[in-house]
């Protein structure tokens, strides 16, 4: 019986982790990072909240993963291109591998 209780707890923990990953998130930004972004024009504060400017199309979009891909190596945690610009610039989504045949054709 103990084993079943442990398995149920592990299943519940996995379900909780999946729920955390689902949905769109806004990476945590320090106050200094936001102030630098606002002064440089990279970010804008609107009635919708904090928005980020896409460096390709120049439009402002909410600064979350619904409009920008998550990129841990970026200073703000978001890619500099919005979803549409990234797809049109690269022809793929982040993490999608390029086959050797596609490399040869390019």
Burial (CB count within 10 angstroms: exposed 0-12, middle 13-18, buried 19+), residue 26? middle
Q: pLDDT tens digits for the chain (106 residues)?
A: 555 555 555 555 544 444 444 567 777 888 898 899 999 999 999 998 899 999 999 999 999 888 998 888 888 889 999 999 998 888 877 766 666 555 555 5
In a domain, 90, yes or no: yes
In a domain, 11, yes or no: no
C-alpha span between 70 and 77 (Å, rounded): 6
Number of domains present in the structure of the chain: 1
C-alpha span between 106 and 21 (Å, rounded): 35
C-alpha span between 23 and 35 (Å, rounded): 27
In a domain, 53, yes or no: yes
**DSSP calls for 71-96:** -TTSTTSEEEEEHHHHHHHHSS-TTP
Is pTM beyond 0.75 here? no
Q: Write out the residue range of the structural domain in which residue 63 sits.
A: 29-94
In a domain, 39, yes or no: yes
The DSSP H or E segment spanning 68 is strand 68-70
Q: The tokens of 99 are what?
A: 């086959």
In a domain, 83, yes or no: yes
């Amino acid at each position: 019986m103990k084993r079943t209780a442990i398995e149920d707890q592990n299943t519940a923990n996995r379900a909780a982790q999946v729920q955390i990953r689902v949905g769109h998130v806004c990476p945590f930004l320090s106050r200094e990072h936001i102030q630098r972004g606002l002064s440089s024009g990279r970010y804008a504060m609107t009635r919708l909240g904090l928005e980020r400017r896409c460096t390709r199309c120049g439009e402002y979009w909410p600064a979350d993963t619904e409009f920008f891909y998550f990129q841990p190596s970026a200073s703000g945690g978001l890619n500099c291109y919005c979803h549409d610009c990234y797809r049109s610039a690269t022809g793929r989504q982040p993490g999608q591998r390029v086959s050797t045949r596609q490399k040869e054709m390019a």
